[in-house]
Amino acid sequence: MNPLQSNNIHWSENIIVADAEYIDKVAFNLTVYFERALNRRIPKADFSTWAIDVALDGGVREGEHETQVVLVHDKDKRQMEYFTPSDFERDLNAKAFRHEKFGEFIVNSLAVEKGFTTKDNFMADIVRTFCDQESVKRIMVVPDSEEGDGYEAVSRILQPKDDDEKRITLFAMQPMPTGNFRQEILGYSLMNALGISADELK
């Protein structure tokens, strides 16, 4: 069963699909490291800043765009601990924000129930669905590239895809085996969302 199958669904031109627990874990790891390295408190990651940075890394440029952000999370997980806003249902699901230079960002959270499917397979199915939509031009995917089969599952979906009209970007914390997609380092967008500036790293 396709998790996004619907005759009435609206497809944005730009799509971000992220494993919510994974980006939260990376935000935690960066927080621990940089609080020690910079000797200061690191605030929670600003979700809107992170989403905008991922969109930019995925090829979105200034203009009146619409970008969908799909957060995939375990059903028993209520919120992210190192982002603000963080509560999947109360703060993020079916919410939107607007940026004066990059347009509207629409956020949805999708819960995966254990026993029905794995989160890795669920994300791969979502990515396949978006790839099949003609109106979708840019897809940015943040699978768990450290544990499980997330990165490999999404990569397998993308290997047969050779669509010059779509720009597909996968995010990880280090260079990974590539295919018919671009790669970006996830840490850059998260560091900016955590308020860590390049000047502090000199």
What residues does 84 pair with on adjacent strands? 46
Q: What is the structure's pLDDT at 141? A: 96
Provide the H-helix boundaries in the chain: 20-38, 47-57, 119-131, 150-158, 186-193
The set of residues, in sequence order, having a beta carbon less than 8 Å from that of 131 and lying 6+ positions away, is 139, 157, 158, 161, 163, 166, 168
Domain boundaries, the chain: 14-201
Q: What is the pTM of this model?
A: 0.92
Rounded Cα–Cα distance for residues 80 and 31 (Å)? 14
Q: What is the structure's pLDDT at 5? A: 44
Q: What is the structure's pLDDT at 177? A: 75
CB 194 within 8 A of CB 42: yes
Handedness of CA 92, 166, 122, 120 (dihedral sign): negative
> Quick one: tokens of 193?
């969302």
CB 139 within 8 A of CB 126: no
Q: What is the structure's pLDDT at 148? A: 83
CB 189 within 8 A of CB 195: no
Does residue 85 have a cis bond before it (omega within 30 degrees)? yes
Q: What are phi and psi of 65, to 5 degrees?
A: -100, 165
Inter-residue long-range contacts of 174-177, CB under 8 Å, 24+ positions, other chains counted: 174/145, 176/145, 176/151
Task: Give the pLDDT of the chain (202 residues) as one tens digit per residue.
Answer: 234 444 445 689 999 999 999 999 999 999 999 999 999 999 999 999 999 999 999 999 999 999 999 999 999 999 999 999 999 999 999 999 999 999 999 999 999 988 788 899 999 999 999 998 989 999 999 999 999 888 898 988 887 666 677 899 999 999 887 777 899 999 999 999 999 988 888 7
3-state secondary structure of 72: strand
List C-alpha distances in Å: 116 to 119, 126, 170: 10, 15, 25
Q: What is the structure's pLDDT at 77? A: 94
